Amino acid sequence: MNKKIYIFVYGTLKKGTRQHNRLMKNAEFVGIGTTTTKYVMCNYGYPMIFEDKNGHIIKGEVYKIPISDLYILDRYEGYPSLYKRKIEKIRIGNKEMDAYIYYNTDRRHLNCKYTVEPNIYGELEWQIA
């Protein structure tokens, strides 16, 4: 039996993207959620987030995936060299759950030319073009 885990995605793995269709074949959609930790989101043609107490929560999608698929996402995200991975508390409605999230710790990437601004609810949300 293959254990299932939760993953929070906020960018190029969201529903409607080519990468979602390719890499998230075994994923079961759980819901739309937000992080409990605040971040800054840089726009490099793809989103890159950094923890920042003065930042904003991230809006994204939660999926349940087989743990055996985690290595596929790790390779895609450049884990552990480009992105780090941790378990984050995610809010869906009035409930909280633990889900893996990819984020960056290399502060040199914070010198990005474009940052994503919060929506009217104070959430950072990557818009799929």
Report yes or no: 92 and 35 within 8 Å, Cβ to Cβ.
Answer: no
Confirm whether 93 is domain-assigned: yes
pTM: 0.95
Range of the domain at 67: 4-117
Q: What is the DSSP string of 37-90?
A: S-EEEEESSSEEEEE-TTSBEEEEEEEEEEGGGHHHHHHHHTTTTT-EEEEEEE
Confirm whether 122 is domain-assigned: no
Confirm whether 86 is domain-assigned: yes
Confirm whether 129 is domain-assigned: no
Q: What is the pLDDT at residue 110? A: 80
Q: Which two tokens stand for residue 75?
A: 């390779």
Q: Which residue has the tokens 């995610």?
A: 90
Q: Judge whether 77 counts as a catalytic residue.
A: yes
How many independent structural domains does the chain possess? 1
Check 61, 77, 88, 125 and give the catalytic one: 77
CATH number, domain with residue 64: 3.10.490.10
Q: Which two tokens stand for residue 99?
A: 């889900």
Confirm whether 126 is domain-assigned: no
Confirm whether 32 is domain-assigned: yes
Task: pLDDT tens for the chain, 129 residues: list them.
Answer: 689 999 999 999 999 998 999 999 999 999 999 999 999 999 988 999 999 999 999 999 999 999 999 999 999 999 999 999 999 999 999 999 999 999 999 888 888 888 899 999 999 999 876
What do you get for the CA distance between the two ends of the chain, in Å?
A: 38
